[in-house]
Chain A
Amino acid sequence: MPGLTVEQIHQRLVEKFGDAVGPLSPPKKDPFCVFAVPRVRAICQFLKDDPALYFDFLEDLTATDHPKENLIRVVYHFYSYRHRHLFIAKVELNRTDPQVDSLEPLWKAANWMEREVFDLFGVVFRDHSDLRRILMPDDWVGNPLRKDYTEAGGYQGISNVRDNPLDLYLNMDRQVRAEQVAAQPPATATAAAPPTGAPKAEG
């Protein structure tokens, strides 16, 4: 069965849901449309159940962070194995309190992907059965993929700052030189230093 084009799918959604489905983005690479946040579950239910659309596969669920617009956009990629067509949709959430309905009741695949977005972006998915951090430790502070995320300066006493190994060698050099200088009387030290001294670190 031949699949529908993105325009046809979009047309069908607009007929059914009207304003809740935003206009299709100008076809810059992959076109997408924006769903109204309160209707997400209903629209997705339709996407899944309608025989002409039949998106049985939630191919990807991720998010992008836009601090300037104060938005987090959750991005859904739907795919239909039966019709072999793809559709991309987004929802725009308030960055300070991002909340959206979970799609877990429709696609089980959403379970882990929503947990990942919750973990890395801090988006809360309502009705999710098991909304816990997934990649970061449970007691981690902050949502790392947000653009304004700053590292807390370590985790449970483990510093996230490492000395530059080059500094280590430079320090060893300096130490050896200082010991040599200390071991020898000042008069001979100046004469003997160039041949026996530790190799001078460069750059």
Chain B
Amino acid sequence: MALDQLLVTKFGADAEHEMILNMGPQHPSTHGVINFIVQADGEVMKRAVPQVGYLHRAIEKIGEIVTYPGFMPYTDRIDYLAAMFANEGYALAVEKLLALQIPPRAQYLRAISCELNRIASHLVSLGTMAMDIGAVTPFPYALRERESINDLLEALCGARLTYNYHRIGGVAFDMPEDWALLCRKWLDHFEKILDEWDRLISFNEIFVERLAGMATIPAQMAINYGLVGPNLRASGVDFDLRRDVPYGAYPDFKFKIPLGKAYAGTHRGGAVGDCYDRFYCRVLECRESLLIVRQALDKFPSGEFMAKVPRKIKPEAGEAQSRIEAARGEMAYYVVSDGGERAYRVRARTGSFLAMGIIEEVSRGLMIADLVALIASLDVVAPEIDR
């Protein structure tokens, strides 16, 4: 069925008096290859129906074909902006199947690499969000800082984007000498940058006005649609897997969980769960991640960075799920083993996939120009949707 006909036949759009527009798949602000079919009456949208799947690479099928360790590089490709989390989630699920304890040093290295990756991912999200609604200047500033994180992670694991750093049983490499010093230096630098970032864009009056009260998602709706991570917390739901279902080294750290509080100010029409809350929660999360990395470096334990793992990984039959707090919210791996060398089924539940599901509902009554801000504020990444 032609996609634009879908609206007419399925949703009864009035093709004569309403506009049916295609946005994407090649659109600069859809953050990858996503297509929206917009049914609009003038400037006001009645509905925006997302069409996904352009980047479907059958990663779950590949998981059934390759061996357990062999799947690790593929997990990177699930979310290329925050590959560490995809690595970690898969490793945790297989470790749960194997009932494997991983050494504390490996857990700390995982936490450090993940939190740095979270900052990097949020920087891209914040920068592109500003750019999508017309503020082009902040984007290069965000990318500049991300470059430094990429350098740090490159020194740690040799790759800048698809890390393949976490392994079943630990991490691939120990922390290089002097790396902690470099990292601390950058953290001190970045703390100041965050203040600069707030002056540059977060508290910019035009920017705040533009996003205040736009596309508000109430808490109940966010839960019902399965939103996770910063999107959920921006709606005021106090939940973070790092604190509430702790895993890895996270019980050792103290950190706050930023929640949406109508940061734009009610006098500007701001509400809990609007686009600005989603933006500003991510800025605050960067701060918390920075503190976590610092604490991890302070308490960094000695010892092994890799557990004793059998040469051939063959978990006994059973199934396990791991849940981690990724940059785009809860990422859950569900791995079923039949006792063989290959997984019987690998399932990756990602935050972006369900965040896309809410767009059709939220877009009702928005202006066409606001759709871009809504997509950007949900921080969806196309490969994570399609897998």
Question: Taking beta carbons and an 8 Å cutoff, which residues of A are in contact with B?
Answer: 28-30, 32, 56-60, 62, 64-65, 75, 77, 81, 84, 88, 107-109, 111-113, 116, 120, 130, 133-138, 144-145
Contacts and interface: CB of A to CB of B under 8 A. Distances in A.
A60 B334 contact: yes
A107 B319 contact: no
A107 B225 CA distance: 7
B76 interface: no
Contact of A57 (B10, B226, B357): B226
A65 B361 CA distance: 32
Contacts of B319: 28-30, 32
B209 interface: no
Contact of A75 (B96, B226, B334): B334
Q: Say whether chain B's binding surface is mostly helix, strand, loop, or mixed.
A: mixed
Given A57-B223, A77-B332, A81-B239, 5 more contacts: A28-B316, A32-B319, A108-B358, A135-B386, A135-B387
Contact of B356 (A30, A112, A130): A112
A111 B357 contact: yes
Given A113-B354, A138-B1, A144-B61, A58 B52 contact: no
A131 B239 CA distance: 31
Contacts, number: 86
Contacts of B226: 57-59, 107-109, 113
Interface residues of B, number: 42
A120 B316 CA distance: 26
B220 to A, nearest CB: 8
A130 B6 CA distance: 11
Contacts of B224: 56, 107-109
A10 B56 CA distance: 37
Contacts of B244: 84
Most chain B CB neighbours (cut-off 10 Å) among A57, A58, A65, A111:
A57
B237 A81 contact: yes
B320 interface: yes
Given A57-B226, A77-B332, A109-B224, A64 B53 contact: no
- A-B CB proximity, top 9 nearest: A109-B226, A28-B318, A112-B357, A135-B53, A29-B320, A135-B56, A29-B318, A62-B347, A60-B349
